[in-house]
């Protein structure tokens, strides 16, 4: 089993270290780069949402990202101390209308649901815990 963890502050400028961590971890674990790219896209969406909406009045917070890989199963755990939010409760995005008139929001969560094989959310105490799972074929 391979595992790595990194903690960042809830600031957009800290996101590149997560991208680098994912790229290194996936390369060392021999996970295809297309899957690493999908995971980075999902993490970027989730982390941007946490940073943008999870902390009222831009309060300080900490976000932990853990990657685990074992027997063809890649897991990304995201733990944050922001406001409770279950992305699994987000309905499908409204794709009607033009890009200019369509309501903003929901598309990123939709991508995460499409790119990952499973997603699990829990609220434990004051912490959001989101688990993204991707099965790696053969």
Look over the chain and give the mean of its residue pLDDT values, rounded to a whole number: 89
The confidence score (pLDDT) of residue 102 equals: 47
Token pair 């995971």 in the structure block, residue: 39
pTM for this structure? Answer: 0.88
pLDDT given at position 89: 85
Distance CA 42, CA 100 (A): 24
With contact defined as beta carbons under 8 Å apart, do 9 and 81 qualify?
Answer: no
Read off the pLDDT of residues 98-131 as tens digits, 9 standing for 90 and up.
Answer: 555 545 555 678 889 999 999 999 999 999 999 9
Model confidence at 51, pLDDT cuts 50, 70, 90, reads very high
Instruction: Write down all domains in the chain, each with its CATH number in brackets.
Output: 2-135 (3.30.565.10)
In this prediction, residues 10-29 reach a mean pLDDT of 97
The reported pLDDT for the residue numbered 58 is 74
C-alpha radius of gyration, the chain, whole number = 15
């Amino acid at each position: 089993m391979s595992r790595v963890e990194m903690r960042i502050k809830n600031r957009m400028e800290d996101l590149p270290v997560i991208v680098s961590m994912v790229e290194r971890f996936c390369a060392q674990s021999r996970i295809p780069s297309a899957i690493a790219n999908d995971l980075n896209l999902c993490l970027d969406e989730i982390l941007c949402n946490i940073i943008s909406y999870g902390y009222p009045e831009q309060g300080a917070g900490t976000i932990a990202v853990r990657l685990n890989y074992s027997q063809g199963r890649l897991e990304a755990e995201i733990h944050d101390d922001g406001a409770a939010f279950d992305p699994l409760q987000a309905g499908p995005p409204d794709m009607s209308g033009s890009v200019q008139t369509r309501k903003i929001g929901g598309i990123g969560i939709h991508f995460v649901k499409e790119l990952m094989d499973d997603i699990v959310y829990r609220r434990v105490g004051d912490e959001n815990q989101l688990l993204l799972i991707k099965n790696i074929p053969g």
